[in-house]
Structure 1
Amino acid sequence: MKFEYVGFKPVISQHGVSFKSGKDDKYIYLPYAYEILEAISYDYGANKNHSFSSKIDNSNVDKLFNKVSLVYPNLEDDINKKLEEFKAFLDNEQNEILNNTQLNEVDKNTYISNLNLMKDYQLKRAKNKIFYYYGVYTIAKVIKDKKLKEIELPFNEKFWHVLKTLQGVLSREKINSDIKVEYKDTNLRLKITTSL
């Protein structure tokens, strides 16, 4: 399965298409999710500490897909199923516009044309987002299985974003967690601790 960067979240209306600059494509977080997963996949045995040197690059996206597929063997089918659901949502959105009594025919046609123009873009973004969440679910599973109490990472906005998503996933599974930023040896570090 192929993933690619698409861009910011589109805001689509009868007036045109714009993009929300604060809502970037989840694709940018995939290499960081891989690095976290790779770091915590270590066989700890008696050694409770493990140091890992991360190397962020886009080849990590394919590596992440391979690792997540080990946990979710039907990953590609699952992603495609969710994309079909999203396509149905987009089709329903068009039906709502057609039935909107507040818009005239020109506005309806323009709005639907803009939606059609951006459909492939939205599907690629959705695919990246679905996969991103599968990556985070896999990280959460490894944390639970290994009963990891603490993960420390270099401070980076993208690592922080993945940890915030992870915190939400752990919370839904009744696992408390806390994210802190600390100075360690004159470097900023991210630390997530869990209640496991």
Structure 2
Amino acid sequence: MKLTYAGPKPLISHSGIVFDRKKEDKYRYIPFTVSLLLALDHDYTSSQNYTYTPDRKHYSDEELLRIITAHCQNAKTEAQRRLNDKAAELDEELRRVQSALSLSAEARSVLRTNLMLMRDYRLQRTVNKSLYYSAAGALVTLVAAKRLQYIQTPFTPEYFHVFHTMEGIIRRRRLALAAQLEVYEEKGELMVRLALAGR
């Protein structure tokens, strides 16, 4: 198991493989999640605003994985569990192809080949997704423990996506925390903010 970019979601059929560009690999959001983890993981003084300027450092895949596992002890275990589940699902998918009598023998063979070609790709997407959600979950745990009132960044699709994921995790965990995501303009710059309030 490793962390590395795979790519957008593949759509696999007996006639070929295409990629759904709207379903990006969660790997894309991991560096942004990690930068927030590193920025927010320190002590705070009550009633004070903090500003953090990202160092723009490019972290290797190994460094990203190390940072995620440092903040979420079970990240690798959870990723391995999801990887095993996905591998079993893909094995079952291959078995179903053999009994798909609605397809000709040639079409079944092509579909089987296409599925096997994309197996490692799809498994890597599963690992990336699991590690992304572990990192976002660690971020939620961190902001709840630090009792932060909000997190705000310049608007990028990546930060917006991370904040949206955090909002969903807060809702699913039923924390005593309400999260509200907003996009607004400040001094001519588009900003995204995740406001956090105790319930």
Query: TM-score w.r.t. structure 2 length?
Result: 0.90
Hey, what's the Cα distance between the residues in 1 that align with 2:84 and 2:31? 25
Decide whether the 8 Å contact of 1:150 with 1:191 is kept in 2.
Answer: yes
Q: Measure how far apart 1:63 and its partner are.
A: 4.1
Over 3 Å counting, the alpha-carbon distance change for 1:9 and 1:127 in structure 2 is same
Over 3 Å counting, the alpha-carbon distance change for 1:170 and 1:51 in structure 2 is same
Give 1:41's aligned residue: 41
Hey, what's the Cα distance between the residues in 2 that align with 1:57 and 1:105? 52
Q: Which deviates more, 54-63 or 137-146? A: 54-63
Q: Measure how far apart 1:93 and its partner are.
A: 1.0
Q: Measure how far apart 1:86 and its partner are.
A: 0.7
Over 3 Å counting, the alpha-carbon distance change for 1:62 and 1:188 in structure 2 is farther
CA RMSD in angstroms, aligned pairs only: 1.8
Q: How does 1:77-96 map to 2 (within 5 A)?
A: 77-96=77-96
Give 1:29's aligned residue: 29
Measured against aligned partners, the alpha-carbon deviations of 1:54-113 in whole angstroms (never above 9, x if no partner) come to 134540654443333234324323322221111001111112222223122211111111
Give 2:150's aligned residue: 150
Which segments of 5 or more consecutive residues in structure 1 lack a partner in the other structure?
none
Hey, what's the Cα distance between the residues in 1 that align with 2:60 and 2:183? 25
Equivalent residue in structure 2 for 1:187, among 186, 189, 192? 189
Hey, what's the Cα distance between the residues in 2 that align with 1:60 and 1:120? 21
% same residue: 27
Q: Which deviates more, 57-66 or 123-132? A: 57-66
Give 1:163's aligned residue: 163
Equivalenced residue count is 196
Which segments of 5 or more consecutive residues in structure 2 lack a partner in the other structure?
none
Give 2:135's aligned residue: 135
Q: Measure how far apart 1:115 and its partner are.
A: 0.2
Decide whether the 8 Å contact of 1:13 with 1:114 is kept in 2.
Answer: yes
Give 1:126's aligned residue: 126
Q: Measure how far apart 1:34 and its partner are.
A: 1.0
Hey, what's the Cα distance between the residues in 2 that align with 1:112 and 1:136? 35
Hey, what's the Cα distance between the residues in 2 that align with 1:88 and 1:56? 39
Query: TM-score w.r.t. structure 1 length?
Result: 0.91
